[in-house]
Structure 1
Amino acid sequence: MTGPGPVRFGVSLAPDASVSLLGTARDADRFGLDLLGVRDEPYRRGTADAVTLVAAALAATTRIRVLPAVACLPLRPPAVLAKAVATMDRLSGGRVELGLGAGASPDGVDAYGGTRPGGAAAARRALEEAVQVIRMHWSDQNGLRFDGEHYRFTALRAGPDPAHQIGIWLGVTGPHGLDLAGRVADGWIAPSSLVPPKRLADGQRRLDDAATAAGRDPAEIRRVYVLEGTIGGREPGGLLHGPPRQWIDEMTELAIGHRVDTFLFGGDPEQLAVFALEIVPAVREQVSRERGVARV
């Protein structure tokens, strides 16, 4: 098993139809953040299309990686999504990743014309099939054919090829979803509101066990934690609700104690500068120092 790599930092944004999202994307790029995630909520009134926003954010930036975090699978046919993501990756010089989920709001999916997969088990099977279809689409094979329970796909040729090996990071929270991520995914995206630190430790173990059982190195699976909180005040107000010093200590513990290797700030975009310019450098330094002590 390989050792821990550098911790990455980014921001998770709502699919805002205004130009403020592009301004935040430029700020995140300028501040040196690694990732920009756009949440996919097409069934919510007033939201913009997340995939279109990913393309616009890529055009507005120069170095940051951008991803739907996470794409709503029941409203995104996997072969079409694969083509869109690969196209954006090629045009951006390899700056796209893919977050994918089974759909957080079945009622919203249904209201927006999508198809409910028919229970949690069926939703997981659809998610697994989608990963297969997407990877097939990105392969260099010809004469492609997939005939699954939920998806069918036939193409004489795959493509377009992405510019780099795009990671597929699954947004799952339950034990069976973690088993799936451990078997087939390149990463796990977990929101702090649904997976607090106590659950995070159990989830990490489940992910590791599933990866090992599938013959994979668990260390190769990225662990992405969406930080849903508020920066400010002088006193702690609970996890991720408090002054910058509290955030620094809590994020360091999440990285060292819970093996989180990627953080996406999901709070108020107005607080992004404090997160990126004050908290992130301090967390990098503290994690590096504590890892160094641990190796002695």
Structure 2
Amino acid sequence: MTDYGHDLLFGSFVTPTAGRAGQAVELAVTSERAGLDLVTFQDHPYQAAFLDTYTLLAYVAGRTERIRVSGNVTSLPLRPPAVLARAAASLDILSGGRFELGIGAGAFWDGIAAMGGRRLTAGQGVEALREGIAIIRDIWDTDTRGGVHHRGRYYEVDGAKRGPRPAHDIPVWVGAYKPKMLALTGAVGDGWLPSMEYLPRGVDSLPEMNALIDEAARSAGRSPSDVRRLMNFMRAEFSPTSRGLLNAPAKAWSQQIAELALEHGLSAFIIGGDDAATIERFGAEVAPAARELVARERGH
């Protein structure tokens, strides 16, 4: 059993469809009204049917007051890290500290290349992401004097001024599945943000994947608990009988979430589906019950 002790977060994963732009915004507003902690949007800049995620994040932040916003996850190959750092800090300042940075090494390389991005192998993408995260954090670090200097294999920044400083310490949540990315997450990430449907063996993959993150964290002189474990559930659905993970009655959802938190260390649960009624029940029924179950067990 692994419980990293983080407070539980509940969120939604909204599709930024350009043809239904109003729906994407309203689902974000519904998420806040339902009491969720987080609303996230996938980031595929090469997808013409989608809104630009960072424009949408800014608009949603202006339409809401409490809920946190994030890309899930930001496509680094099409967002230069120094510019991304300023955009993230600006959003965080304007929203009163409600921006979180989900980030990935990139996927769908044909689409990335078509938009003018550099095509990388999987291994190159990992190293580019490591460089990018370092640059982003250096831009945010206004306590250090002088400019940012980074001469890497994939990114070069020579004398960029630091700032603006975010309104809060923005966590960097990494979308990762394979060993090298999991090791990067443990070494430099503040969170791990995959999707359950993409894990090779579903829930059964969690012990091995958590162990890789934990080992890398310790090797970097960190604690495994420094890395929050988040999870997207893209096929979550309320059903009258239990048919599987988050495909069950609301009470069973709460029990399943509590088990995932206490046994596998997950502490943020983000549901897809773009369904307002599901989001509302998730916030009203599932989240409070799951928090109570976890708090009770932790108390014991």
TM bucket (normalised to shorter chain) is over 0.9
Q: Secondary structure at the match of 1:19?
A: helix
1:215 and 2:221 matched: yes
1:96 and 2:99 matched: yes
1:272 and 2:279 matched: yes
Partner of 1:260: 266
Partner of 2:179: 175
Q: Which moved more, 1:128-137 or 1:25-34?
A: 25-34
AA at the equivalent of 2:100: E
What is the 5 A alignment of 1:72-111?
72-111=75-114
Superposition deviation, residue 192 in structure 1: 0.6
CA distance in 2, matches of 1:111, 1:15: 20
Superposition deviation, residue 114 in structure 1: 1.7
Superposition deviation, residue 243 in structure 1: 2.5
Q: Secondary structure at the match of 1:59?
A: helix
AA at the equivalent of 2:161: R
Partner of 2:140: 138
Q: Which moved more, 1:203-212 or 1:266-275?
A: 266-275
CA distance in 1, matches of 2:209, 2:161: 38
Contact 2:40 2:70 in 1 (8 A): yes
CA distance in 1, matches of 2:254, 2:242: 12
1:188 and 2:192 matched: yes
CA distance in 2, matches of 1:5, 1:122: 32
AA at the equivalent of 1:138: W
Contact 1:69 1:99 in 2 (8 A): yes
Partner of 1:153: 157
Q: Name structure 1 gaps, 5 residues minimum.
A: none
Superposition deviation, residue 68 in structure 1: 1.0
Partner of 1:9: 10
CA distance in 2, matches of 1:180, 1:151: 17
CA distance in 2, matches of 1:3, 1:125: 27
Contact 1:231 1:244 in 2 (8 A): no
Partner of 1:44: 47
Partner of 2:294: 287
Q: Secondary structure at the match of 2:193?
A: strand
AA at the equivalent of 1:13: V
AA at the equivalent of 2:188: V
* Normalised TM-score (structure 1): 0.94
Partner of 1:123: 125
RMSD: 1.5
* Normalised TM-score (structure 2): 0.92
Partner of 1:54: 57
Q: Secondary structure at the match of 2:213?
A: helix
Q: 1:165 to 1:230 in 2, by over 3 A?
A: closer
Q: 1:45 to 1:236 in 2, by over 3 A?
A: farther
Q: Secondary structure at the match of 2:116?
A: coil
CA distance in 2, matches of 1:106, 1:172: 16
Q: Name structure 2 gaps, 5 residues minimum.
A: none
Identity %: 39
